[in-house]
Amino acid sequence: MGIGRYIAKRALTSIITFFAVLVLTFILFRLLPGNPVLLLFRNPELTQQQISQLSAQFGLNKPLYEQFILFIVNVFRGNWGLSFYYRVPVTQVLFPALLNSIILILPSTILAILIGVGLGVLSGWKRNTLTDMAVLSSSLVLYAIPTFWLGILLIMLAVRIGGIPVSGMLSIGVSFSSPLQYLGNLLRHLLLPMITLTLVTLGQFTIIMRTSVINELTEDYVVAAYAKGMSESRLISKHVVPNAMLPTVSIIVISIGTVVAGAVLTETVFSWPGVGTLIYDSIARRDYPVLQGAFLIVALSVIISNFIADLVYAYLDPRVKYS
């Protein structure tokens, strides 16, 4: 099978998946018990007439299949509806939150990947030594630490040190005289949440990388190369790591794909106005339009990154194309 056909096949699968996600998204939120109108307007003085009027206004009184057709048509028109809760177009709520999340999560994920993969290689290379034990156990501990706890711990630390903002994205009410000042302020606010998020996510990369490095190290070609007298560092960097990266690639790409899903816990601890908390709040409020929008974006992003992972895989491992 040629590379062209391979790509086409993968693309088709991705599109089908996307449609399945569309249908699921719609059904899923309608299955949640609870009526958004009753939740939003919970007021002992609301009359039955007011309730039906509000339902009509939100289109909740139409039959489900009609709501579904409307939903599909509108998704492709770029009309994602009005948020029940905020009463503004979904895109106006969703996109700023998405951007905020990406600002926090993308650098953290990249940092976690770099540090995690590095530590994994080190640990696999020096397996069963003190270094390995130290790296492995600290990775496991970090992976298992509750985000909330770590976040609060860092906040307490920052409070003792002083000068490090512990909440929000920017100092509120300050007008910045230059873009540089703005950036500086943002970076200071980014510090704690980024450290938290990096620490709690890097463990998974370390562990996977370590395992696959150890796997590679037991391969015959490694023994042969070693016997030939190839230096250990050259062996690791030129032969072992590229091969060991294969299983890690998929988890890396998917991690990057889920950047748009936000990080609920970190965002909550640091009051970071991201998409994770938006999704969480919207579930509680039964804000279907926002949820649908958010899930579509997350799904789209994961599907696209999977597609990319497939391509990268095919490039890294030519055998894939023939399978």
Partner 1 sequence: MSTLDVYDYLVRYNSTFSPVVPDLAYKWEVFPNNSAAEFWLVRNATWSDGVPVTAQDVIYSFEVANNSASRLQPQVSIITSIQAPNNYTVIFHYHPTVLFMAYTAAAVPIVPEHVWIKYVPNPSNSTALTDYQDYPLVSSGPFEVTNYVQGQYIELTANPNYFYVSMRPHIQHIIVQFFKDTNSMVEALEAGQIDAVAPTILPSQVKTLEGYPNIRVVVEPGEEFWYIAVNVYPYGHGNPTLKDIHVRQALAHAINYTELAQVIWQGYATPAGGLLPVGNKFYDPNLTPYQFNLTLANQILNDAGYKMGPNGVRVSPSGIPLSYTLYVINEAPEEVEAANIIAGWWSEIGVKATVDAVDAGTLASIIWPNFTQDFDLWDWFTSPALPTLLDVFLANQTETGTSDSGYNNSAYDALYGQMITATNYTTVYKDAYELQQMLYQDLPYIMLYYVKSIEAYNSQAFTGYFDNMTGGPFSDVNWYTFIDLQPASTSQSSSTTTQQSSPTSTVSQPTSSPSSGPSSGSTPSSTSSSGISTPLIVGVAVIVIIVVVAAVVLSLRRRPTT
Task: State in angstroms the smallest separation of the CB of 233 from partner 1.
Answer: 44
Q: Which is nearer to partner 1, 69 or 88 (CB)?
A: 88
Kindly list the distances between the CA atom of residue 44 and the CA atoms of 41, 51, 155, 228, in Å, as whole numbers in the listed order: 9, 12, 40, 83
| C-alpha gyration radius of the chain | 24
Q: How many CA atoms lie within 13 Å of 91's alpha carbon, on the beta-carbon side?
A: 7
Helices (H) and strands (E) in the chain, counts: 14, 0
Positions in the binding site for partner 1 (CB under 8 A): 32-35, 38-51, 53-54, 57, 82, 85-88, 92-93, 96, 148, 151-152, 155-156, 158-159, 162, 165-169, 171-175, 267-271, 273, 277-278, 280-281, 284-286
Report yes or no: 37 and 58 within 8 Å, Cβ to Cβ: yes
In the complex with partner 1, the residue whose CB is nearer, 73 or 170, is: 170
User: What letter does residue 176 receive in the DSSP assignment?
Assistant: P
Q: Which is nearer to partner 1, 252 or 278 (CB)?
A: 278
Minimum CB–partner distance for residue 162 and partner 1 (Å): 7
Residue 274 near residue 260, CB atoms below 8 Å: no
Taking the complex as a whole, the smallest distance from the CB of residue 304 to partner 1 amounts, in Å, to: 28
Shortest reach from residue 256's CB to partner 1, in Å: 25
- Nearest approach, Cβ of 40 to partner 1 (angstroms)? 7
| Tokens linked to 121 | 């290689």
Q: Which residue, 26 or 307, has its beta carbon nearer to partner 1?
A: 26
Nearer to partner 1 by Cβ, of 1 and 31: the residue is 31
Pick from 156, 126, 111, 282: nearest CA to 217: 126
Shortest Cβ distance from residue 166 to partner 1 (Å)? 5
Please answer whether residues 18 and 307 qualify as being in contact, where contact means their C-beta atoms are separated by less than 8 angstroms.
no
- Of 160, 162, 125, 75, which is closest to residue 236 (Cα–Cα)? 125
CB of 98 to partner 1, least distance (A): 14
* Nearer of residues 209 and 290 to partner 1, judged by Cβ: 290
CB contact set of 127 (below 8 Å; sequence gap of 6+): 210, 214, 217
Pick between residue 82 and residue 256 the one whose CB is nearest to partner 1: 82
Place of tokens 């719609």: 26
Rounded alpha-carbon distances, angstroms, from residue 125 to 122, 217, 241: 5, 8, 10
Minimum CB separation of residue 96 from partner 1 in Å reads 8
CA 295 to chain centroid: 12
> Which of 280/313 has CB closer to partner 1?
280
CB-neighbour burial class of residue 38 (10 A; exposed 0-12, middle 13-18, buried 19+): middle
